[in-house]
Amino acid sequence: MDCPFPKQHLSQLHRDDAFFMSLAYNQAVDAFRAGEVPVGAVAVREGEVIGAAHNAVVETGDPTAHAEMLALTQATRVLGDYRLNAVTLFVTKEPCPMCAGATIMARVGRVVYGVGDPKMGGMGGALDIPAVATLNHHPEVTAGIGEEEARRILQAFFSQRRGQDRREASRPAES
Ligand SMILES: [Zn+2]
């Protein structure tokens, strides 16, 4: 699919939340181009990217192939450890309950997300999984970094896809 937005190229001099979120955003642009729901994620430890992925549900035919899951798996491989306390996960959209759960299983130290998801969000949008008192790990959560761009690319994707669906529906049936 044609993504109407270019990738971002922020200065590497300031490797702050906005910088790492721009890398996650660029993953979302790749997802859009591949016809996947445009959500991207990067896993960072001590200023170094050790996982980067976008949604790949369509490509893999796997409903668990969310950007966060793939980036966390990459990070565990790089570190040779399934405990990711020193890792910050940047993701363009609020993690769903599955991915929020995965950040807890992996003991991810911090999660930074862009746009909230009131329908499916697992970090305060629909459910607030990190706030469950009985859990033995509670990632620090920062919301709203790169929120506008993350919302815009999702909206553009779904409106383009709706347009495609309409064109297909209006095509005369083949005989
Ligand atoms: Zn998810």
Place of tokens 């966060």: 68
Helix (H) or strand (E) holding 154: helix 147-170
Q: What's the CA gap between 109 and 137, in Å, rounded?
A: 9
For the stretch 152-166, pLDDT in tens is 999 999 999 999 888
C-alpha 126 – ligand 1 centre gap (Å): 13
For the stretch 43-89, pLDDT in tens is 999 999 999 999 999 999 999 999 999 999 999 999 999 999 999 99
Q: Which residues are catalytic?
A: 68
Phi, psi values for residue 159, rounded to 5°: -75, -35
C-alpha 8 – ligand 1 centre gap (Å): 23
Helix, strand and coil content of the chain, in percent to the nearest 5, comes to 40, 20, 40
DSSP state of 128: B
C-alpha 139 – ligand 1 centre gap (Å): 16
